[in-house]
Amino acid sequence: MKITLQIVLPLLVLVPALAAAQYGDPRRATTDASVVSSPADALPYRGRVDDVNLGERSLVIDDQTFTLDPNVRVYSGDFRTALPRQIRKGQGVKFSARGTSRPVITGIWIMPPSEYRKLERREAREE
């Protein structure tokens, strides 16, 4: 089981990320598979959760509204499978989405606060 997850999980996040790199927001997309050091690196978008409404299957991330896919894959900070109800306001997340007018989140990683802060610092240095 563990070996299967180690192989399948990176593929589940890498394939949508590569598609997003080609068709999504180029400012936030990972475009080179060789720079992916963990499955979370392959998720092309990131942000902070502003609001969660699981009854309507919607999330607001950085002031943009997203719909959760009925089959959304949610992962906790240690890459274990999690449930959508574990997504909380104020959390940092990385995610993959499809669509443009009302994007649908297909995969989401709830980032540990320390990881999110490191990512913000790294991106600030790159600007």
Task: List, for residues 1-17, the tens digit of each pLDDT value.
Answer: 555 445 444 544 444 55
Q: What are the tokens at 2?
A: 């563990």
Mean pLDDT (whole number) for 69-96: 92
Half-sphere exposure of 16 (CA within 13 A, CB side): 23
Q: What is the mean pLDDT of residues 113-127?
A: 83
**What span, in angstroms and rounded, lies between the C-alpha atoms of 122 and 127?**
9
Task: Say yes or no to pLDDT of 77 above 70.
Answer: yes
Q: pLDDT higher for 99 or 42?
A: 99
Q: State which residues form the domain around 82.
A: 2-126
Q: For residue 80, how far is the Cα from the chain centroid?
A: 14
Mean pLDDT of the 45-59 span: 95
The CA distances from residue 54 to 22, 44, 57, 73, 107, in Å, are 30, 23, 4, 14, 15
Q: Is the pLDDT of residue 73 over 70?
A: yes
Can you give the pLDDT at residue 97? Answer: 93
Give percent of the chain above pLDDT 70. Answer: 68
Number of domains in the chain: 1
Range of weakest confidence among 6-10, 23-27, 47-51 = 23-27
Per the CB < 8 A criterion, the answer to whether 56 and 28 are in contact is: no
**Domain CATH code at residue 32:** 2.40.50.320
Q: 110 or 120, which is more confident?
A: 110
Among 23-27, 64-68, 120-124, the least confident range: 23-27
CA dihedral sign, ordered 71, 13, 117, 46: negative
Q: By the 8 A CB rule, do 107 and 72 touch?
A: yes
The structure tokens 């590569």 sit at 18
